[in-house]
Structure 1
Amino acid sequence: MPGFDAAFSPDKARSWRVSLISLALGVCAALGQAPWSLWWISLPAFLGAFLLYKRTFDAGQAAWRGWLFGVGYFGLALFWIVEPFLVDIARHGWMAPFALIFLSGGLALLWAATWAVSRRIGGVGVLVIIWVAVEMLRSVLFTGFPWATIGHIWIGTPVMQMAAFGGAPLLSLIALGIVGALFLPRRTVAIGIAATIFTTTWTIGLVILISQQPTKMEKTVRLVQPNAAQHLKWKSEMIPVFFQRQLSMTSLKGDPDAIIWPETSIAYRLDRAEPALSLMAEAAAGTPLVFGANAFVDGAYRNTLVVMDETGSLSERYDKHHLVPFGEYVPFGDLLGQLGIAGLAARDGGGFAPGPGPQLVEIPGLGKALPLICYELIFPRNLRNVPRADYILQITNDAWFGEISGPYQHLAQAMLRAVEQGLPLIRAANTGVSAVIDPVGRVIANTPLNREGYLDADLPNPNPVTFYSEWGDWPMRIVLLISLCGVLVTRIRAHD
């Protein structure tokens, strides 16, 4: 039976083993992401991936192995994506496995293309450069999704401080550069260069952390965490329960300069929120209160952050401008809405409308804040092209993200944004993790996940303007372009 023999030939068996190894290495590489943060497992996994890449015969084989590695990586790092679909299982539960399959498989296509192109035009050096460039592309392609980028494995380590110079792309370059350097021709030189990259960046980060101890602005913020589970949040009998929790924690003794409630912390449309607003002003007792709500503006719903001043008046408002695709809106939503398809957090088929863009808001007692609502925090570009703030303020509802990895990965990215900008970050989350983060990314105070409670914490002073906050990704783009040209010229000369 020739067909049977061919199907189970040694070559086919070897191919399947390599495919499974590619997938497993991707899973191991994802362990560098929060909440595991095992960068010391992630780096060897990338080393294994580079070895597989080196042993490919053509671009097609490289693409297959790169895709499998990506599927394993994104499958573990982003498995929390099924959680939002399980909030209303009857309505959305059937979508959960498809969401994970299509998201991990789709993102892995970018890595497949990376491996294929690199294999066709160069070696490991080209792979490092193009891989970092593709990770940068991932932050903007189809509105962008820079979640679980390679450089995030350094969050929480001293190496994270390098983000003040080059953001997440520099962190990705450091990770892949350490591994790629091991493939230089001379073994001792290769190990020496890899060790130098690691020890230098780690030491610089350690010096920054030691030399920059948090300094207080002598201002205190109270973060209120009602712990409203998503499947209960909008139930009519639970709305007053969660609202009363926030009122009670707001009126507790203490002398905060401002009180922050999380995203959509009131269940009433802003223009119809009385008498709730009066109760909030009474509970705040003259302390400025920031809260999240839905507003109806120009015929469309907005996801909104509102500032209530000392007098109880609504003094400032910020409308979320970077919305979640298929969450807060659905492309061609008006048409799909007629078919009963709507975003998970949307009020109608079209969902929410975006606000005009990034802006500062003045919070009496705390100064100028750069507001971000939930998902907006994962995009560094949302913190640029505005005047420098005194601090970053994020309100969020991470109840959508489950309990295992999503909320912790979101918090990790908040730590990274603080380092990139050199600004303290205040984070009020409905179910947690609410936190105050200093300008070098240290969580100086936080409330646990899935706990009702409040937190009074001192707000740290900002650091001087960072290189990354001034220049963004442009220096890294130039570095990658020059490096790619240099590698290609070297290979051409070697062939000549």
Structure 2
Amino acid sequence: MTATDWRGGARATPQAATWPTGGAAVVAVLGGLLQAWALAPVPRAWAQVLGLGLLAALVWRGTGVRRHALLAWLHGTAALTGTFWWLFISMHRYGGLPAPLAGLAVLGLAGFLALYGALAVAAWTRWRSGRLVIDVAGWAALWLLVDLARAQWLTGFPWGAAGYAQIDGPLAVLAPWVGVYGMGAVAAALAGLGAAWCLSPGRALAVRLLPVPVLLAGLAWTPPAGSGGDFTRPTRTLSVTLLQGNVPQNEKFDPAQIEAGLIWHAEALSRVDTDLVVTPETAIPLLPEQLPDGYWAGLQRRFGQGRGAALIGLPLGSFERGYTNSVLGLQAAAPAYRYDKHHLVPFGEFIPWGFRWFVDLMAIPLGDFSRGPLAAPTFDVRGERIAPNICYEDLFGEEIAAGFTDAARAPTVLANVSNIGWFGRSVAVDQHLQISRLRALELQRPMLRSTNTGATVIIDHLGRVTHQLAPHTRGVLVGEVQGRSGVTPYAWWAGRWRLWPLWGLGGAGALCMALAARRRRA
């Protein structure tokens, strides 16, 4: 039985599965590592497409469902391990987990998440038609489903989604329309299209390879800011202060070192002369009742009488009621504001069912928190509506968009408070910065980032860093941020329906490909 290829000729239907040769496996791993490198320390759109394109080239004209699935699994495991290898630091250096077990845990997580890609490539291999448009569209749809599965299944762990590599490339114009996962799907289509063209028969090798450098050069081009459309308008300008305490993680909960950190943050807060000051996540690592006498009351007096406002990160709760990872807002003539983290980090902030034994092996304090509401009220400062999110939460743009359903009460400024000190001097700092930049661009809202070790920055509504502190230093960043009103297309649909429209788009593409394959076999 034969099938028609995209040039109109005949190609053999894939026969018996064969396992990857050593060379193919090496190319798959290198392609995965290239995808990881594309994300940080600076985003490289061309490298992300090339990395996925290498996998596409391995499977586009080959045969064997199991062979292709294994190549995709190797590619995905390399990409994910190369992306979040720094989890080893948190588990081993700060959690006390033995190095071999910490290494296996990182590799195991990467290998498990890579199964999504392996299943997608296996399905594509079974359903491909040999027709360019159908196969490229199916490739993009299946990789969209892979990104969505990683983002939402089993509480979601979307760190390293392909679209983040596109934040400075031409696909960034799509961010306010389709978000990071839509950008990733278009990048996958480009990777598939490039592989199909390079492997097409009947053309000289030079002709087949010529478009590749042109495509990669085009992806290296940075379009003018706002090329995707500016859906917002300016509101007021606030003067802001962002603190970066640079407290080493191994000292953060050490009783002998807590006092020094408390003193530095209190002194920095007392000297503030701006509209708003923001501290990092758990800048105060103790419950209010555990603080030295007069400490919390002094902060309340300071901001209850002054002109400025403060967002201060600290844990709240008790053993009986449960703990929350929270931000408290203080300002004159207003009740205290409270934001509780909604999307918790597995193992770090809550313990998945059946994994208590694993967490018990680590010495990480406060490992089981309670959740806050999804769409929390904003903290209003001088007419601007500040929407906090805590660390890991800014990976979930659809959850932040839940606050945009009422345009009249939508946030005008986003504020992320983080502590990446768990991951040492690693690329996690740079990766998280690109994530925040893309959230700002999707929603077209400025983002304030106050972090313990970096990156402490002010990002404008088009995803550009306007003010920045050097990471891994103690300092105070003073600047201005301009609020924005208005709603992007992404904020409109994601706020109402979360990621279901993309699930529908990816599912429809995969279903059409499967039905076409079934008709061919009939």
Q: Structure 2 length normalisation: TM-score? A: 0.82
CA distance in 1: counterparts of 2:101 and 2:332, whole angstroms? 45
Which residue identity is paired with 1:302?
T
Is 1:449 aligned to 2:471, yes or no? yes
SS of 2:313 mapped into structure 1 = strand
Alignment identity in percent? Answer: 23
CA distance in 2: counterparts of 1:371 and 1:53, whole angstroms? 44
Match of 2:29? 23
Match of 2:356? 336
CA distance in 1: counterparts of 2:453 and 2:233, whole angstroms? 26
Match of 1:4? none
By how many angstroms is 1:347 displaced? 2.5
Is 1:224 aligned to 2:217, yes or no? no
SS of 1:304 mapped into structure 2 = strand
Q: Is the 8 A contact 1:133 1:480 kept in 2?
A: yes
Match of 2:151? 139
CA distance in 1: counterparts of 2:162 and 2:312, whole angstroms? 34
Match of 1:172? 184
Which residue identity is paired with 2:268?
M
Match runs of 1:227-376 below 5 Å: 227-252=246-271, 255-273=273-291, 274-281=293-300, 286=306, 287-296=308-317, 299-310=321-332, 315-332=336-353, 336=356, 341=360, 345-347=364-366, 351-365=368-382, 367-376=384-393
Match of 2:125? 119
Is 1:130 aligned to 2:142, yes or no? yes
By how many angstroms is 1:271 displaced? 3.8
CA distance in 2: counterparts of 1:37 and 1:200, whole angstroms? 11
CA shift in 2, pair 1:260/1:299, >3 Å? same
Match of 2:162? 150
Cα distance per residue 1:71-111 (max 9 Å; x no partner): 11111111111121133364565542022111111111111
By how many angstroms is 1:133 displaced? 1.4
Q: Is the 8 A contact 1:28 1:41 kept in 2?
A: yes
Match of 2:9? none
By how many angstroms is 1:384 displaced? 2.7
Among candidates 435, 443, 446, match of residue 421 of structure 1: 443
Unaligned runs of at least 5 residues, structure 1: 1-11
Cα distance per residue 1:58-77 (max 9 Å; x no partner): 21111110011111111111
By how many angstroms is 1:479 displaced? 3.5
By how many angstroms is 1:452 displaced? 0.5
CA distance in 2: counterparts of 1:18 and 1:196, whole angstroms? 23
Per mean C-alpha deviation after superposition, the further-off stretch among 443-452 and 358-367 is 358-367
Q: Is the 8 A contact 2:414 2:445 kept in 1?
A: yes
CA distance in 2: counterparts of 1:433 and 1:200, whole angstroms? 26
Relative contact order higher in (CA < 8 Å, ≥ 6 apart): 2
CA shift in 2, pair 1:218/1:143, >3 Å? same
Match of 1:384? 401
Q: Is the 8 A contact 1:178 1:194 kept in 2?
A: no
Which residue identity is paired with 2:169?
T
Per mean C-alpha deviation after superposition, the further-off stretch among 427-436 and 84-93 is 84-93
CA shift in 2, pair 1:128/1:279, >3 Å? same
By how many angstroms is 1:445 displaced? 0.9
SS of 2:461 mapped into structure 1 = coil
CA shift in 2, pair 1:342/1:396, >3 Å? farther
Match of 1:85? 91
Match of 2:506? 480
CA distance in 1: counterparts of 2:476 and 2:376, whole angstroms? 27
SS of 2:38 mapped into structure 1 = coil
Which residue identity is paired with 1:238?
Q
Which residue identity is paired with 2:356?
L
Unaligned runs of at least 5 residues, structure 2: 1-17, 130-134
SS of 2:360 mapped into structure 1 = coil
By how many angstroms is 1:143 displaced? 0.4
Per mean C-alpha deviation after superposition, the further-off stretch among 140-149 and 96-105 is 96-105
Q: Is the 8 A contact 1:329 1:343 kept in 2?
A: no
CA shift in 2, pair 1:343/1:292, >3 Å? farther
Per mean C-alpha deviation after superposition, the further-off stretch among 16-25 and 160-169 is 16-25
CA shift in 2, pair 1:365/1:86, >3 Å? farther
Match of 2:52? 46
By how many angstroms is 1:42 displaced? 2.7
Match of 2:112? 106
Cα distance per residue 1:285-340 (max 9 Å; x no partner): 612221111111562111111112226x861111112111111121248x937x98
Match of 2:78? 72
CA distance in 1: counterparts of 2:345 and 2:164, whole angstroms? 21
